Structure 1
Amino acid sequence: MKKILLLCIAVIMGAAFVVAGCGSNDTAKESSASGSGGEKVLKVATSADFAPFEFQGENDTDYQGFDMDLIRAIGKEMGTKVEINNISFDGLIPALQTGNIDAVITGMSINEEREKEVAFSDPYYESGLTIIVKADNNSINSFNDLQGKKIAVQIGTTGAEEAKKIPNAQVKELNSSADTFLELKAGNVDAVVNDKPVNAYYMTKNSDNSVKRVGEQLTSENYGIAVKKDNTKLVQEINDALKKLKENGEYNKIYKKWFGTEPSNN
């Protein structure tokens, strides 16, 4: 009886090793985005406070916006399920570097400083910085007029970086773009510096006549999807999917949905 029992145990253990060995090989063969049961999953992070690119509706748990529709369409082209995580903007790159997520899409501008830390996809949107002030403010008409003024910006953004370059400006960094507008309306700052589409969307959506845009666009910036620095395979997969979306017209549909017009160029 003992011999039979020992033999059974040996057979079971041997089978377990075979199964474990097969599992390891399958995992190694999976692409850059994968999940349990062999299902491919692209783990994406965003900072969902940057309308119209990413945000949550008041009574909606789903993430909405141009970026959210775009990354889901990219995932579909790649044949992967997209899992979206909401992380504060300044925590996005660290989360990417530690491998907790596969990609970041959050209206992130491609610049030299970020390119030292992450790899970017091809640009998918061209933006720039603009100024919003109270409607009765006639002293600020350009970026030069912001010298010595109180400016609200979203933490970790290029708007924050540019505002800090303005002589004697008092820059207040806040967690979200929505917070910057609240500070302006409360009279705690003189101006808000945000990306052009964010400022435009706020004014259009809220029909807010108490504020106005002034001056010309300061910069020209390209948004990109960020991935871990050495993950060249995922960058290529995203670029291939983005190219297909532009060729088949799906990108234009998403763009028009959120900005009212088709893009001037792709």
Structure 2
Amino acid sequence: MKSIKSLSALGISGLLAIALVTGCGTGEKANQTAGQASPEKKVIVMGTSADYPPYEFHDQSSGKDEIVGFDVDIAKKIASELGYELKIQDMDFNGLLPALQAGRVGFVMAGMTPTDERRQNVDFSILYYDAKNTIVAKKGSNLTKPEDLKGKKVGVQLGSIQEGDAKELAKEIQGMELKPLNKIPEIIQEIKAGRIDAAIIEDTVAKGYTGANPDLQFHVIPPKGPNGSAVAFPKGSKNAEEFNKVLKKLKDSGEMEQLVKKWFEQK
């Protein structure tokens, strides 16, 4: 989404004032005429990869294509609390952080784990949800633990934390071959078609896909280090502190737990 340059205020006495509108990643112009005051309107753009249910995905049940999910609900609550109008920009997962660094989006929510490598380039909020990696494979394949992936072709989402974790596993497991793909649905179809043997996918996402595909199953990989999802921001962004306050409020009030139940436990 293109940015709109800031306009300086025009001093036409008693007749016209132009309100400067700013946002992270994009902005919009709002006019204010004499005798008709309007509040400042801010727009903030969320970058995401809407192929990752229940975090974010395309829903067409209402007759129109809408991006919904756990992350989207959280982002809407934060935007409302901070007085932003939220806009969502969908793209491939591996393009999210470059878009953030280039200023095309104001923040990223995509079930993203704040790894040390990512922290070198962007800032993160506090963790808002914890998750684990799993092995997804066909039922009866007996691929239930990392050692079983010896000599197997394993799918991962390009640019995801699972890709990094899988690369580390491949160093330890002889003959484990990785096949990075852009979208989780592509990975699932590759398993079902037999072109890959398994995939490493986050547990909440795996639960949704295996529920919809009864010929598949998943098994949790015991974590070796920290997991979880956080909001990503450009380096030095003041929004990180604001977002953290709202995230803590959502946790303390119990609203976050309600969203967890809505999107994960009732699937």
**Residue 52 (structure 1) shift:** 0.7
- 2:29 maps to 36
* TM-score, L = length of structure 2: 0.82
Q: Aligned match of 1:106 in 107, 110, 117?
A: 110
Q: Aligned match of 1:132 in 107, 132, 136?
A: 136
- 1:246 maps to 251
Aligned pairs for 1:39-78 (under 5 A) are 39-59=41-61, 60-78=64-82
- 2:119 maps to 115
- 1:186 maps to 193
Aligned pairs for 1:9-24 (under 5 A) are 18=11
- 1:235 maps to 240
* TM-score, L = length of structure 1: 0.82
Q: Closer, same or farther in 2 for the Cα pair 1:35/1:242, shift >3 Å?
A: farther
SS at match of 1:221: coil
In the alignment, the residues of structure 1 paired with residue 60 and residue 24 of structure 2 have an alpha-carbon distance, to the nearest angstrom, of: 34
In the alignment, the residues of structure 2 paired with residue 174 and residue 32 of structure 1 have an alpha-carbon distance, to the nearest angstrom, of: 30
Q: Indicate conservation of the 8 Å contact 2:71/2:111, yes or no.
A: yes
**Residue 124 (structure 1) shift:** 0.5
Deviation string for 1:153-196 (max 9, x for gaps)?
A: 11111111122221332111111111111100000111111111
- 1:157 maps to 160
Divergent runs of 4+, >6 A: none
**Residue 215 (structure 1) shift:** 5.1
- 1:221 maps to 227
Q: Closer, same or farther in 2 for the Cα pair 1:78/1:194, shift >3 Å?
A: same
What's the RMSD between the two structures over aligned residues? 2.1
In the alignment, the residues of structure 2 paired with residue 132 and residue 169 of structure 1 have an alpha-carbon distance, to the nearest angstrom, of: 15
Deviation string for 1:111-154 (max 9, x for gaps)?
A: 0000001000111010121101111212x231122122100111
- 2:265 maps to 260
Q: How many residues align?
A: 237
In the alignment, the residues of structure 1 paired with residue 163 and residue 227 of structure 2 have an alpha-carbon distance, to the nearest angstrom, of: 14
**Residue 74 (structure 1) shift:** 0.9
Specify which structure has the higher proportion of helix.
Answer: 1
Q: Indicate conservation of the 8 Å contact 1:143/1:218, yes or no.
A: no
SS at match of 2:228: strand
In the alignment, the residues of structure 1 paired with residue 136 and residue 249 of structure 2 have an alpha-carbon distance, to the nearest angstrom, of: 36
Q: Indicate conservation of the 8 Å contact 1:46/1:84, yes or no.
A: yes
Which has the higher mean CA deviation after the structures are superposed, 177-186 or 163-172?
163-172
- 1:5 maps to none
Residue 198 in structure 1 maps to residue 200 in structure 2: no
The residue type paired with residue 113 of structure 1 is E
Q: Closer, same or farther in 2 for the Cα pair 1:84/1:31, shift >3 Å?
A: closer
Q: Indicate conservation of the 8 Å contact 1:66/1:258, yes or no.
A: yes
SS at match of 1:122: coil
Which has the higher mean CA deviation after the structures are superposed, 238-247 or 191-200?
238-247
Indicate the percent of aligned positions where both proteins have the same amino acid. Answer: 32
In the alignment, the residues of structure 2 paired with residue 148 and residue 74 of structure 1 have an alpha-carbon distance, to the nearest angstrom, of: 45
Residue 146 in structure 1 maps to residue 149 in structure 2: yes
Q: Indicate conservation of the 8 Å contact 2:60/2:66, yes or no.
A: no
**Residue 43 (structure 1) shift:** 0.9
